[in-house]
Structure 1
Amino acid sequence: MACASPDHLIRRGTPRIPLDLEQHDCLAYGDGPSSTPCRWEFTRSGKSEEVRISGRIRSNDWRALLHASIAGYGITWGPESVLNSEITAGRLVQVLPDHKGPSRPMHVIYPVGHRPPAKLRRFVEALLDEFGKVDAG
């Protein structure tokens, strides 16, 4: 999800569509040169839209980008599991709530044919509780 501090949104306005992000300072995650374009992909009603974002800050440390966003330096894009607590605390506000970011697949691989150890079963159960049930492949 995309989020910004209330202060940033007061100063710069709230983006209404992904293309509006081109007019905002966005906090880019990456370790490539700053000349390498950064793109964020959003999906709404089954349609994908890719936006080229830019901003004053690029980092390969997601926590640094989170703190920069809380401090009002721009719009960040990150996992709901982390950003929800910042939204609940009032430090960040979700922007473009009708647009979703791409999902990232997660795989847990272990040998079949015997019962997995209790630790592994508990770990898989915790993953399912946190991220939801998915199809087994």
Structure 2
Amino acid sequence: MALGRARRVLIAGGGIGGLAAALALQRAGLEPVVFERAEALRDGGAGLHIWTNGVLALDCLGVAGQVLETAPAQQVAHFSTHRGEVLGAWPVGDFVERYGAPTIAVERSVLHGVLREALHGSPVRTGAHVTGFEQDEDGVTVR
């Protein structure tokens, strides 16, 4: 298969990683198609703590601004057990000055929604199971 011909890219999985990969590929000029086995994209889940390097990655994807609108910069990161017992705290309020981006806490559903909206019409096919693929000189066939 000639690499120059490949324009469409299939991504198996419509979670945060799959949508972020699709957005990166779209921004590179490719045509991502996301296959998600669930019948609908899930918007539930827990909160996420995204450190500076993750916020910088969101900026590279062009979505950091939208995420930061609902996820203010954290001043202190607390480390706790699963029972809520605080083990320690780390000041992170100066991360913008030190590293170029804050560390944030954001709801998974917010991040997922921002990534989905940023795909500008690239298809996300729900109820689509990917079980394997075959590649030859003519292309790739997904099962």
TM class by smaller structure: under 0.3
- TM-score, normalized by length of structure 1? 0.26
Which structure features the higher share of strand residues? 2
How high is the TM-score relative to the length of structure 2?
A: 0.25
